[in-house]
Amino acid sequence: MTHLVKGDKAPDFEGIIETGKKIKLSDYKGKKLILYFYPKDFTSGCTLEAENLSENFDFWKNNGYDIIGISPDSVERHVKFKEKHNIPYHLIADTEKEIATTYGVYGKKKMYGREYMGIFRTTFVIDEEGTIVLVVKKVKTKEHTEQLKKLLEL
């Protein structure tokens, strides 16, 4: 699980988005950001989370937030996922899990008694100065916006 906590500087990173362009966290300096890590495109929980944030995209924009999703999926898979679910924000292809590792959200998981390496679904809310203001480890995929609004007191 992540070692990052509220008050920490969010580690800068560079990642490739669905257009093939590289972006950095530092590109978002001066903006508030919802940075969420999820395991895999087209799976039920990940789809619900992406759809919930997409349906509430205008709310987030109107409150000064950008959104970026990060998973180990390829750029090509992100393109298909965005198209199928009308996702209006960028998705980063972290195929080598470098960003996830830096943020402490890639590690050993257990399901049905089987251990495997995977992504811990986690959301970081980052302020205009690049400081983490919220870490959500127990994400409610279907109602993630409501969960974040409550925690951020919006």
Token pair for 120: 């811990």
Domain that holds residue 130: 30-152
In a domain, 3, yes or no: no
In a domain, 137, yes or no: yes
| 89-108 average pLDDT score | 97
Residue of 4, 33, 34, 46 marked active site: 46
In a domain, 119, yes or no: yes
Residues for the chain: how many in total?
A: 154
Domain count, the chain: 1
Instruction: Using alpha carbons, select from 62, 80, 78 the residue that is nearest to residue 70.
Output: 78
Token pair for 108: 């050993």
CATH code for position 94: 3.40.30.10
Q: Coil, strand, or helix at residue 92?
A: strand
In a domain, 92, yes or no: yes
**pLDDT tens across 30-79, in order?**
999 999 999 999 999 999 999 999 999 999 999 999 999 999 999 999 99
Confidence of residue 111 (pLDDT cuts 50, 70, 90): confident
In a domain, 37, yes or no: yes
Strand arrangement of the beta sheet that strand 65-71 belongs to: 22-24, 14-17, 90-93, 65-71, 32-37, 122-126, 132-136
Does residue 110 carry a pLDDT above 90? no
Structure confidence at residue 2 (pLDDT): 77
Catalytic annotation present for 73 = no
